[in-house]
């Protein structure tokens, strides 16, 4: 279960073996059932009614959302430094010293915000260099991944990406028996797709299938049904939340950063234009 819970981390690294030894169908469905139960649970914890928009983005930009994140990051950083300084001088603490330290760190915080390289440096110290900007009804929250996610949003994203990587292994196996396993994975998720709870997941799985083989016209059976009944309604409207999440997740899992998702990212290296995804959407529109 520990391995299954951390499958999403494999998207972060190059050279991870995608193909595996022979799979046992019964065991695959058992593992998938565990992952899907977790996904549905985490999905239900997200306050979907309050979400207005979602995007995956880098802090190496100049816009209002990034500036709000900068305020918070610099406040957190200097707040911690101020607290540590007060604790260090606690044995002979004086009000004058506290006021002096507060003024010094307040000035440093203002300077840090005004000087762009320092601002970005402190932001990347406090936060990851890229993440999900989730706009709620009354605020925009910068959701960043951690080793142990605490937010409902990131627990949902990680549970989703675990299934995506599970499926990625399946579609990279070449035996005929493994092709049947890939179909069984799709069929199992379809059987659990009540009230559209797995629509986004199924759409992203078929996008991964499209990444491997973009000839969508050769698909048949259950794959074709999903394209027509699920993918078409989601991907014809770029303003829909599901479309935005799909685009964001694909940005997330396809970052090319030489292995480390975070430390090597710069403003020029982080590619957020999902040309393959847009091609997938165009193919779906042509079918519809």
Give the pair of three-digit tokens for residue 173: 């196996």
pLDDT bin (cut points 50, 70, 90) of residue 148 is low
Burial of 114 (C-beta count, 10 Å sphere; 0-12/13-18/19+):
exposed
**pLDDT at residue 163, rounded to an integer:** 96
Mean pLDDT of 103-114: 80
Helix (H, G, I), strand (E, B) or coil at 229: helix
pLDDT in tens, 2-61: 888 888 888 877 666 776 667 777 888 899 999 999 999 999 999 899 999 998 887 776
153 phi and psi, to 5 degrees?
-60, -50
Give the torsion sign (CA, 41, 272, 135, 50).
negative
More confident of the two residues 261 and 53: 53
Using the predicted structure, report yes or no on whether residue 249 has a pLDDT greater than 80.
yes
pLDDT bin (cut points 50, 70, 90) of residue 89 is low
pLDDT bin (cut points 50, 70, 90) of residue 257 is very low
What size, in residues, is the chain? 288
Strand 130-136 to strand 140-143: parallel, antiparallel, or no bridges (unpaired)?
A: antiparallel
Using the predicted structure, report yes or no on whether residue 259 has a pLDDT greater than 50.
no
Mean pLDDT of 256-275: 51
pLDDT bin (cut points 50, 70, 90) of residue 149 is low
| Residue where the block lists tokens 């979400």 | 51
Tell me the C-alpha distance between 122 and 118, whole Å: 6
Using the predicted structure, report yes or no on whether residue 107 has a pLDDT greater than 80.
yes
Average pLDDT of the chain?
A: 80
**pLDDT at residue 174, rounded to an integer:** 61
Tell me the C-alpha distance between 246 and 200, whole Å: 7
pLDDT in tens, 186-197: 999 999 998 889
How many Cβ atoms sit within 10 Å of the Cβ of residue 129?
A: 20
Mean pLDDT of 101-113: 79
Tell me the C-alpha distance between 182 and 190, whole Å: 13
More confident of the two residues 166 and 257: 166
């Amino acid at each position: 279960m520990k391995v299954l819970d951390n499958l999403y981390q494999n998207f972060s690294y190059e050279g991870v073996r995608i193909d595996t030894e022979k799979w046992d169908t019964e065991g695959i469905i058992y593992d998938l059932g565990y992952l899907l139960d977790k996904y549905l649970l985490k999905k239900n914890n997200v306050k979907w009614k309050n979400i207005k928009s979602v995007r995956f983005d880098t802090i190496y930009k100049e816009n209002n959302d990034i500036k709000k994140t900068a305020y918070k990051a610099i406040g957190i950083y200097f707040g911690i430094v101020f607290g540590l300084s007060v604790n260090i001088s606690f044995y002979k603490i004086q009000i004058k010293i506290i006021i002096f330290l507060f003024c010094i760190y307040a000035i440093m915080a203002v300077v840090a915000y005004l000087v762009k390289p320092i601002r970005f440096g402190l932001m990347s110290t406090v936060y990851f260099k890229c993440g999900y900007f989730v706009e709620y009804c009354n605020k925009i929250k910068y959701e960043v991944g951690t080793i142990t996610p605490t937010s409902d949003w990131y627990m949902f994203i990680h549970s989703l990406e675990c299934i995506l990587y599970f499926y990625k292994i399946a579609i990279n196996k070449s035996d005929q028996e493994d092709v049947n396993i890939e179909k069984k994975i799709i069929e199992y998720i379809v059987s659990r797709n009540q009230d559209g709870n797995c629509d986004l997941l199924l759409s992203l799985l078929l996008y991964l299938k499209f990444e491997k083989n973009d000839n969508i016209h050769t698909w048949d059976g259950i794959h074709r049904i999903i394209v027509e009944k699920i993918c078409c309604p989601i991907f014809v409207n770029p303003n829909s939340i599901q479309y935005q999440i799909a685009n964001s997740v694909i940005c997330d899992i396809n970052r090319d950063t030489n292995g480390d998702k975070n430390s090597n990212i710069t403003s020029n290296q982080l590619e957020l234009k999902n040309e393959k995804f847009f091609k997938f959407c165009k193919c779906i529109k042509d079918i519809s």
